[in-house]
Chain A
Amino acid sequence: AQTVTQSQPEMSVQEAETVTLSCTYDTSESDYYLFWYKQPPSRQMILVIRQEAYKQQNATENRFSVNFQKAAKSFSLKISDSQLGDAAMYFCAYRSPWGGGSEKLVFGKGTKLTVNP
């Protein structure tokens, strides 16, 4: 079974600075999807960014980008020019495309990001 590990329970960053959240995963599959979700205090789960494992190019969405290292099974999220609204719990998630019931999202435990003004 796939597992996702977020080794940083909490992180903090100054407004306008850059922060990187870490995520590693364990899988024997060669093709899969990786996601970062954001959960602000409102508790809503918001999709931040998505990466397909077969794509070598790192995904980018505005101020959010990932560093995908397939061999190392690492998938970190970089937030540039941090804003107060970025304060939230961030979850890394893995999804297998192979069907048969294995395609559910598996989540890490989350990293709580605080943005200091």
Chain B
Amino acid sequence: DSGVTQTPKHLITATGQRVTLRCSPRSGDLSVYWYQQSLDQGLQFLIQYYNGEERAKGNILERFSAQQFPDLHSELNLSSLELGDSALYFCASSVDAVNSPLHFGNGTRLTVT
């Protein structure tokens, strides 16, 4: 168990809908990362937060947004969902923003129908 908790484990929704994925980092970790894993694109970095502030942004669509709250948990919001958004979404956390390894949660499997 990595100590990173992601909910829900599975999510099935229709096109055009909006969903929220939640992540609780390991105790003591200040940095949270979101990754998308799809069959054709592999693991793609979406966004990173450190101690509540956005630190880095990757290939995140404008329909997607995220935030990290004062208690350090993070949420990834996906709106106007399309079939192509179906993927496994991982949250990871690390102690700091630069040097420490990332520890991943078990992911949220999103299926858009």
Contacts and interface: CB of A to CB of B under 8 A. Distances in A.
Contact of A104 (B2, B33, B104, B106): B33
A50 B101 contact: yes
Interface residues of A, number: 24
Interface in B21-55: 33, 35, 42-43, 45, 48, 55
A104 B90 contact: no
A44 B56 contact: no
A101 B106 contact: no
Contacts, number: 54
A43 B10 CA distance: 12
B101 A45 contact: no
Interface string B2-31: 100000000000000000000000000000
A107 B38 CA distance: 13
Contact of A110 (B42, B56, B101, B103): B42
Given A105-B33, A105-B45, A110-B42, A44 B104 contact: yes
B99 A33 contact: yes
A98 B55 CA distance: 13
B104 A103 contact: no
B99 A104 contact: no
B97 to A, nearest CB: 6
Interface in A43-76: 43-47, 50
B45 A43 contact: no
A103 B42 contact: no
B42 A109 contact: yes
Nearest to A42: B106
B94 to A, nearest CB: 9
Interface of B: 2, 33, 35, 42-43, 45, 48, 55-58, 88, 90, 92, 97-99, 101-104, 106-107, 109
Top 8 nearest A-B pairs (CB, nearest first) are: A101-B56, A45-B104, A107-B43, A104-B45, A103-B98, A109-B42, A97-B98, A44-B106
Given A45-B104, A107-B43, 16 more contacts: A43-B106, A43-B109, A44-B104, A44-B107, A45-B107, A46-B104, A91-B43, A98-B98, A101-B57, A102-B56, A103-B56, A103-B97, A105-B35, A105-B92, A105-B102, A109-B42
